[in-house]
Chain A
């Protein structure tokens, strides 16, 4: 299962700004609710997180060290 942006339903005011900037169609506003759909094209641009005025979307990064380092 692909990791996708996370929506905090309590903070989300359903303004739809995230949907308007999402280029891969991963975010959909329907029935007064923003939902995340798992799509292959989501490149983690984080624009949805950037434009959300309520901090309701998170695109967290995992931070790891590459194995083959001395």
Chain B
């Protein structure tokens, strides 16, 4: 495929730049391909390359000490990863894995810094990208810290397991998230947690309430 200037132009990092500058940036950008399951960055390790997803999807995740995986973000074409370690010079707070075959455009930290020094518009763009990222993380922190998401998921499951209310309607995780005002990722995490507690069992496309009393307790209802 090779590095495409049109693609670079479409990235929030490089918006508002004229073609000459984009041509210079294009010389620093290189292509990288990866297959499904390939780890592109390891949590806790430094990274000196900023990547943009050209095709495919990568997941940003953390693994707990007992091996549970929590997906924080899905990166689709046009979005970037490794921003934090590259811009801060620190280590990567997450691991990144290719969810299928992916094509990436990479740019080394030293080259990005050279471009920012030469073209301040790029630095302003970076501030904007990071501001959006901070807003997303604040929203996630709110979910983690202040709201009892698992309790709300439990309450919703109790309501929907009662056929008189749901009339056999089926729900996606996105719909569940919308109903209780949280992120889809939090619903997935809560369902796993309820399954670990033995309150529910997930069998493919069925969520089976196995312990109503435990679910009621988590939901805080009598």
Give chain A's interface residues, CB within 8 Å of chain B.
Answer: 3, 15, 17, 19-23, 42-44, 46-47, 49-51, 53, 55, 58-66, 69
Contacts and interface: CB of A to CB of B under 8 A. Distances in A.
B210 A44 contact: no
16 contacts: A20-B99, A20-B100, A21-B57, A44-B204, A50-B184, A53-B76, A59-B172, A60-B171, A60-B172, A60-B175, A61-B205, A62-B168, A63-B207, A65-B162, A69-B209, A69-B210
Contact of B57 (A20, A46, A55, A60): A20
Contacts of A53: 76
A33 to B, nearest CB: 19
Nearest to A47: B99
Interface of B: 36, 55-57, 71, 74, 76-77, 99-102, 157, 160-162, 166, 168, 170-175, 184, 188, 201-202, 204-212
A64 B204 contact: no
B208 A46 contact: no
B56 A64 contact: no
Nearest to A46: B173
A49 B205 contact: no
Contacts of A63: 157, 160-161, 166, 170-171, 206-207, 209
B207 A64 contact: yes
Enumerate the 10 nearest inter-chain pairs by beta-carbon distance, A residue then B residue, closest first: A20-B100, A60-B170, A21-B99, A63-B160, A44-B204, A21-B100, A65-B209, A51-B57, A65-B161, A60-B172
Nearest to A69: B212
Contacts of B207: 61-64
A66 B205 CA distance: 15
Given A19-B100, A20-B99, 20 more contacts: A3-B205, A20-B56, A20-B102, A43-B204, A44-B204, A51-B76, A60-B205, A61-B172, A61-B207, A62-B205, A63-B160, A63-B171, A63-B206, A63-B207, A64-B208, A65-B209, A66-B201, A66-B210, A69-B209, A69-B210
